[in-house]
Structure 1
Amino acid sequence: MRYFVSLDYKHQDGQYRNSATYYNQYGFTSNIDGRISKYIHVAVDLTGRLQDKHYPQKSAGTIFNDLVSAYPTSVAWWPNGDPGPAREHGENPVVISTGATGYNNDKYYVLNSNMKLDIDIPWIKGLTFNGNLSYDQGFDFTKNFFKPWQLYSWDGTTVDTKGQPVLTSNVFGAGTNNSPTLYEYFRSDYNKLAYGLLNYSTNIADDQTLKVMLGAQVSKGDTESVNAYRDLFASTAVQEMFAGATANQATGGTGNVNARLSYFGRVNYAYANKYLIEFVGRYDGSYIFAPNHRFGFFPGVTAGWVASEEKFWKENVRFMDYFKLRGSWGRTGNDRVAGFQYLTSYLFGSGYYNTTGQYYPYVTNSNGSQVELQTVYESVIANPNITWEVANQTDVGFNANFLDNKLSVEGDYFYYKRSNILWPQNATVPASAGLTLPSVNYGKVQNQGFDFSVAYSNVTRSKFSYSISFNGSYAQNKVLQWGEAPGAPVWQQTTGHPMGSGLYYQAAGLIHNSKDSADYASGFKSWGLSTTPAPGDIKYTDIGKNDTMDSRQQNEDLQEQYPHFYFWVLYQSGV
């Protein structure tokens, strides 16, 4: 039995004098490993910490912005000790960086646990089992108390009988009538994961190896939160929710869940270290999709031939120390979109006097008084057929070594095709439909290219080691299928162009003088741009051949956000 236990404490202070910013962390670690028998090994690991964060009411960005933008003639403190005026919104940096305006504190409690079980099954040689169970729990509590503060300004002329400036007091705060406010937030979240692996390895004869792995994994998570707000506190002495007024109180809360289940396996076979093949497969289920579309199967295969191990190679290709040809094909899935889109989503309507809301309550007249009734509205329409996004990936390459394995060369060609890409069909459904659309499996994109590496490494007699490598990569993607806006000209459609391509006007020279400007403008029956052509402006091509200069003349250009080709050199050395 082995064990390890530790306690730790960390403190970090802020960067300001009399700062309200500081951080404390308290933690512990406990690791216990034990062998129950010759064949069974267990381990239990626990870690926990409390992150105690303290901040002023204003953010670090606001404080620094006030520092750099303050007038050089503005005072931080008056000679009598009163704080100086605000730059704006009551923001005097020497005040808002302290606790004078309240505090924004957060305590986050975290527990991470992990239990592991390893078994060497004695009655089947080469068969092992590995199991793991982890549980993580977190509690987050935020308390944000805003209290009024005073700043003092001077009109620049008024003084008292002693010649001292007569200051004017200004009160600032966050609540109604600059009253104290309190906002509290609590969140509980947990994640648990369990998996089991069966591994089998054996030798067949003297020159063949077989390895098999089977496994399953399940993960679940849950997050719940509540929040509350009150203002109009009669005093800053009692900073608890019950002490605030109910007139402007607000409450809220959210919750979400996630769950995934996977079954997977791998079979690896090698013959004489020359012929290599491996099969892999996953059967994944995700809570994102409806039960009848929840699971997807994602297989893959890899094969390799170490030609340098062949007898004819060793006898005839002696200048090459190692050469391997390899190829692979695999299918992977993606479910990284908003969950439960197979169900219609509803939201509560806004209050009648909430000008930011689009959906108002149902108002009735009862005995001469209006009564608001809560309403719900359709937020996102359902897509019951939503399922996995799929990527088919093919790679062919080689590895070669020369000069006693000091020089290595590696090259790969790859081709990826993504289909069933998840994306809302906003382009094909007009905004006038008044619908918020779910993700749909309809996009297709391909990406192909190559990458290579040439590296040389050596160790001198003085034990000085060095290596240098030249690396390059080229990739070009193209949209094969996308939801195009109805009526969009062919030259403005995304399909057939790289992802990230933009719409640009096509230049046809410059306007040199007034006559050139008039001749150019006369070539169009309609000019829809915001500025009329003038000397020095760029001439644009009439791509649409419709004698109208507007946004329809923009062309889907091959300009992209990222370059196609990358090249880099890496040098390393040491003793």
Structure 2
Amino acid sequence: MRKKNLKEFSPLKFFKIKALAFLFILSISLPVTASSFSALTGKIKLAREIVVTGTVTNETGATFPGVAVKIKGTEKAVQTDAKGKFSISVAATTDVLVFSYVGYTIQEQTVGDRTTINVQLSADTKTLNELVVVGYGTQKKATLTGSISQVKGADLVKSPQPNLSNSLAGRFSGVVINNRSGEPGYDGSNITIRGLATTGSNNVLIVVDGIPGQIGGLERLDPNDIESISVLKDASAAIYGNRAANGVILVTTKKGKTGKPTINYSFNQGFSSPTRLPKMADAATYAQIMNEISFDSNPAGGLNQSYTADQIEKFRNGSDPLLYPNTDWTDQTLEKTALQSQHSLSINGGGQDVKYYMSLGTVSQDGLYKNGATKYNQYNFRTNVDANVSKYLKVGLSVSGRQENRLFPQVAAGDIFRSIYRAKPIVSAYYPNGLPTTGIENANPAVQVTDIGGTSKSPTQVLNGILRATFIIPGVEGLSVDGFFSADKSNVFTKSFNKPYLLYQYDPTSKTYNSVITGGNNQKATLIEKHQNESLLTSNIKLNYARRFNLHDINAFVGYEQSENHLEYFDAQRFNFLSTNLPELSQGGAAATDYLNSGYSSNYNRKSVISRLAYSYDDKYLFEGQLRIDGSSIFPEGKRFGYFPSASAGWVMSKEKWFSDNVKFVDNLKIRASYGALGNDNVKGFQYFDNYVLVGNGFVAQSPGAASSSIQPGVNLVKLANPNITWEVAKKLDIGINATLFKNFSIEAIYFQQKRSDILTTRNASLPGSSGIVNPFDDKSVNYTPLVPSENIGKVNSNGFEATLGYNHNGENFKWNASGNFTYAKSKVIFIDEASGTPDYQRKTGRPLNVDLLYNAIGIFRTQQELDAYPHVSGAKVGDLKYLDYNNDGKITADDQTRTPYSNIPQITYGFTLGASYKNFDLSMVLAGQTQVSQYVLPESGSIGNFYSSWADNRFSAANPNGTYPRVTDRASNAISGGQFNNTFWLNDASFLRLKNVELAYNIKASFLERINVSGLRIYASAFNLFTISKVKDYDPEGTSGSGQFYPQQRIINLGANIKF
């Protein structure tokens, strides 16, 4: 039907037509006779008496209980009973009965003159044959034998997070997502699958459109381009062999679909703010605390040694902002909100021979800093084209790329927030005349966030291309050859210009502002430029066979894959710039000491044979075997190849006749198990060679006839070789069940076990110094690495279980679904090198990975009698923390430290998702939580920094003997409440429940959109990290351990629209 142009529409003309039609109908209705009316009422009476009964069966002829039988267009409905029978009254012979059951094709039957209607429902093949992306292909969800979770891209776009990794939290069982920072451009999440499993790398392998380790990764992909994301958690990942030990995430982007071109445009505007920031002590409180510290050190000096009562009052009332300011450094440095926006435009369509999907997208994120230099911009594109060249040949081309522009102030985010929390409230950010102060140790965070001290910009380009081909071999049904060649390229350029600038100190005696030069190097500008180029070439060819013989289904392939990764890096530094107006390397100082440069390159190759055989009988008995043979240049000759087999089996018990006839409430039940070996080659390369570095002061030499000796360049041995290094191996066992109950409930439960062995680590702890290879040159530098070579000696076991429950309800107007997932994963160190003589309770062996060694704080010494009666460290005073004398030797020493039960990676994670729609409205929610997780945060407080209000307001003191925090101290290296005595008082329970994502949307009615030639319009409001329930109050519980000095996680409120043409 031709759509009318909006300009042709006339409300007056429309009204006239409707009025004439009404009069015509009215005129022919007036002569209705009494007999006609009587006949009509008789018909109505007859309709009320129609009772329709019947029986519903399935394809096998078995009766079908629980089928919904509904009169179309009404809310009237019944369900079939235990024998599949139903009875329903209808109003007219023209009524239509709708028969529906989840997983089966809906049937409609017009009543007509029938009073008995029997119906046979057939399984909805689209539902049963729903495909899940697996390694090197797809499989029917119904016949999967591995632990694979999947989320659709349509769900991910409902999150306002520009970083895709952050949108995954709470959606899967077994997947641990922790967002440690909210800094634009560096706000990605740490992803682990089933928790920590090794002392080595726990990084997950990312596979995008079939390319393992594609350059660019997951985080910066446009969510609008995503078709689905699958997670391989068990031995099913063995098909990726040497990089699959930590699990695999498979990303599939959208492809073209047959049909007329469809154009989609989406836009959203977001407003981000910190989820949580610590409240700091004000100036008056800080001054009082400093008086307490002074009195504690020198009681004879009195109570107001640092500040008089009058001075404290001036801090409080703000009467003299020049000399007695009250500075809120957070407010002076950070905005309340920052802006972000996303745009996406795509076109999708094609015919029988050519299909295409093309998209453009942009992302813009501002930082929280006032007048700040932080900014992240992204521009991305994607093109996926598939063509049928002939009956037997199909080809595809995918090209994608993006430009990432990062801009930051010269000072890193962690240092800025360190300055914010340390800066004293008794110091202004700016004097009343606008001059910046020296802040804390010549670090004024309100100035650091600007570009006054220079900026660091880092543009990045990523380009990915994939050429695919599939050839169906004629004459042999089910036989085909396919392959791909991909080329990835990235270029990262960083330019960091560090300029000197002026801060000021006010001298109250002379009433002058004295300048202080900070920034730069020796009061001169410096420039660092870094270049990193990386390329990845991957090729793959497979011979495939897929055939069904009656009830036998075979799917198999064997193939070859190879990849070459090349990286080049160099940096150049220049010092002593005479002017800050020309930040170019050519403009720096000319002396030999004004130059500095370095660089390196690497080349890694992998070659693999891949194979899989999947067999099923009647989709009831399932078996799958996989084998990957991997070769990696990371290891020495003779050790380069590893074999990674896996096997899995499943039994769809519900397809057994004896089961389906007797267990009516179970619609589907599958029992499955898998076992396999997987590898991890994510280690430093060339460890089978002795490692040397060039140094400028290698040795002292004196040439013949020379008057004196001189220092000459040379080489230093930094790591001894191990010619026997090999793969880290993970052996994984999974046992699981999948079930559907009462047609709408779904259940998945899995027990998993993993044993890691041959983990590369060193014997630094147990080897004595007399061996000569631990630290032969007595190097005291922080970054010194012992010469001890790495060995495949580490062992870690882990186990746990995960479960997912789901419910789905499909009403005519109201539809909703909900699911919950739960994961428990615990690791145990079986062997790691430890110093001899270490007490058992302090050893890492036998405990979870990454647990801390701390003194156990059991309270506060509140009286001198209590202090005298219990062991304590030298110098302890009333108000200090009380440490447990764990070994009962009557003194507090390092031997009293014990291992904490949990690390900063949770042992328990859980999530809830909810989706609902009513007519044109839809709602989605994702909640994520974690528990059995710890975070250690010790603030830098005292004379070296301000106090959190939680400590300042609840500190132990003579005026507050019931304070819940210890007395305040300078936190010197020998401080009792902090410093070297790291203890459990500062170890927080980082459990939380967080509303990760919520979206409420309205879909504009199609009848309205037709008038403006629009096929769809959706407007929505969404939020990310909207609220968090946690015992941690001063900072975000997902943040890093340490001193709480990290760019805070973000809460995002978002408004957007999606329009389709």
TM-score tier by shorter-chain length is: 0.7 to 0.9
Residue number in structure 2 paired with 1:458? 809
Residue number in structure 2 paired with 1:362? 700
Match of 1:485 among 835, 840, 851: 835
**SS of 1:341 mapped into structure 2:** coil
Structure 2 CA distance for aligned equivalents of residues 193 and 225 of structure 1: 21
Q: After TM superposition, list the pairs within 5 Å mapping 1:267-346 onto structure 2.
A: 267-346=613-692
**SS of 2:396 mapped into structure 1:** strand
Residue number in structure 1 paired with 2:767? 429
Residue number in structure 2 paired with 1:198? 543
**SS of 2:608 mapped into structure 1:** strand
Cα distance change on mapping 1:342 and 1:516 into 2, 3 Å: same
Structure 2, unaligned runs of 5 or more: 1-353, 775-785, 919-1061
Contact 2:424 2:440 in 1 (8 A): no
Cα distance change on mapping 1:244 and 1:124 into 2, 3 Å: same
Instruction: Report how far residue 201 of structure 1 moved.
Output: 0.6
Match of 1:211 among 536, 548, 555: 555
Residue number in structure 1 paired with 2:797? 446
Does 1:183 pair with 2:521? no
**SS of 2:709 mapped into structure 1:** strand
Q: After TM superposition, list the pairs within 5 Å mapping 1:22-421 onto structure 2.
A: 32-59=385-412, 69=423, 74=428, 76=430, 83-87=435-439, 100-150=452-502, 155-156=507-508, 171-172=517-518, 174-176=520-522, 178-204=523-549, 206-236=550-580, 238-247=582-591, 248=593, 249-349=595-695, 351=697, 361-364=699-702, 367-403=706-742, 405-421=743-759
**SS of 1:273 mapped into structure 2:** coil
* Structure number having the greater helix percentage: 2
Cα distance change on mapping 1:48 and 1:492 into 2, 3 Å: closer
Cα distance change on mapping 1:111 and 1:90 into 2, 3 Å: same
Instruction: Report how far residue 439 of structure 1 moved.
Output: 2.6
**SS of 2:702 mapped into structure 1:** strand
**What one-letter code is carried by the residue in structure 1 that aligns with 2:637?**
P
Provide, for residues 183-240 of structure 1, a one-character-per-residue CA deviation record: whole Å limited to 9, x for no partner.
Answer: 3222222122222233211122x11111112222222222212222223334445543
Cα distance change on mapping 1:188 and 1:505 into 2, 3 Å: closer
Provide, for residues 135-160 of structure 1, a one-character-per-residue CA deviation record: whole Å limited to 9, x for no partner.
Answer: 122233333334444556664566xx
Structure 2 CA distance for aligned equivalents of residues 155 and 555 of structure 1: 50
**What one-letter code is carried by the residue in structure 2 that aligns with 1:293?**
K
Provide, for residues 294-348 of structure 1, a one-character-per-residue CA deviation record: whole Å limited to 9, x for no partner.
Answer: 1111111111122222233233444433332222211111122211111111123
Provide, for residues 31-87 of structure 1, a one-character-per-residue CA deviation record: whole Å limited to 9, x for no partner.
Answer: 5544332322223333444445454444566667777848788584886xx855543
Contact 1:118 1:130 in 2 (8 A): yes
Structure 1 CA distance for aligned equivalents of residues 719 and 617 of structure 2: 55
Structure 1 CA distance for aligned equivalents of residues 858 and 432 of structure 2: 64
Greater Cα shift, 229-238 or 125-134:
229-238
Contact 2:855 2:883 in 1 (8 A): no
Contact 1:78 1:84 in 2 (8 A): no
Structure 2 CA distance for aligned equivalents of residues 532 and 52 of structure 1: 52
Greater Cα shift, 424-433 or 223-232:
424-433
Instruction: Report how far residue 416 of structure 1 moved.
Output: 2.0
TM-score, normalised to structure 2, is: 0.45
Greater Cα shift, 487-496 or 368-377:
487-496
Contact 2:427 2:439 in 1 (8 A): no
Contact 2:700 2:709 in 1 (8 A): no
Cα distance change on mapping 1:71 and 1:502 into 2, 3 Å: closer
Greater Cα shift, 44-53 or 13-22:
13-22
**SS of 1:398 mapped into structure 2:** strand
Contact 1:349 1:361 in 2 (8 A): no
Structure 2 CA distance for aligned equivalents of residues 490 and 171 of structure 1: 53
Contact 1:6 1:28 in 2 (8 A): yes
Q: How much is the aligned-residue C-alpha RMSD, in angstroms?
A: 4.3
Instruction: Report how far residue 293 of structure 1 moved.
Output: 0.7
Greater Cα shift, 473-482 or 110-119:
473-482
Cα distance change on mapping 1:456 and 1:383 into 2, 3 Å: same
Provide, for residues 252-295 of structure 1, a one-character-per-residue CA deviation record: whole Å limited to 9, x for no partner.
Answer: 11222222222211101111222111111111122221121111
Contact 1:468 1:569 in 2 (8 A): yes
Cα distance change on mapping 1:200 and 1:512 into 2, 3 Å: same
Contact 1:230 1:246 in 2 (8 A): no
Greater Cα shift, 252-261 or 1-10:
1-10
Structure 2 CA distance for aligned equivalents of residues 367 and 119 of structure 1: 76
Structure 1 CA distance for aligned equivalents of residues 508 and 651 of structure 2: 87
Contact 1:274 1:307 in 2 (8 A): yes
* Structure number having the greater strand percentage: 1
Provide, for residues 437-468 of structure 1, a one-character-per-residue CA deviation record: whole Å limited to 9, x for no partner.
Answer: 233212333323333444443334x4433345
Structure 1 CA distance for aligned equivalents of residues 801 and 623 of structure 2: 23
**SS of 1:293 mapped into structure 2:** coil
TM-score, normalised to structure 1, is: 0.79
Residue number in structure 1 paired with 2:248? none
Instruction: Report how far residue 107 of structure 1 moved.
Output: 3.4
Contact 1:509 1:539 in 2 (8 A): no
Greater Cα shift, 368-377 or 31-40:
31-40
Cα distance change on mapping 1:410 and 1:32 into 2, 3 Å: closer
Instruction: Report how far residue 496 of structure 1 moved.
Output: 4.0
Greater Cα shift, 227-236 or 25-34:
25-34
**What one-letter code is carried by the residue in structure 1 that aligns with 2:733?**
T
Greater Cα shift, 498-507 or 166-175:
498-507
Residue number in structure 2 paired with 1:356? none
Instruction: Report how far residue 93 of structure 1 moved.
Output: 6.7
**SS of 1:134 mapped into structure 2:** strand
Contact 1:362 1:375 in 2 (8 A): no
Structure 1 CA distance for aligned equivalents of residues 503 and 847 of structure 2: 59
Greater Cα shift, 562-571 or 101-110:
562-571
Structure 2 CA distance for aligned equivalents of residues 416 and 240 of structure 1: 53
Does 1:574 pair with 2:917? yes
Contact 1:511 1:539 in 2 (8 A): no
Structure 2 CA distance for aligned equivalents of residues 487 and 273 of structure 1: 58
Greater Cα shift, 194-203 or 501-510:
501-510
**What one-letter code is carried by the residue in structure 1 that aligns with 2:553?**
T
Contact 2:887 2:895 in 1 (8 A): no
Structure 1 CA distance for aligned equivalents of residues 878 and 376 of structure 2: 61
Structure 2 CA distance for aligned equivalents of residues 253 and 242 of structure 1: 19
**SS of 2:658 mapped into structure 1:** helix
Cα distance change on mapping 1:350 and 1:2 into 2, 3 Å: same
Structure 1 CA distance for aligned equivalents of residues 506 and 862 of structure 2: 58
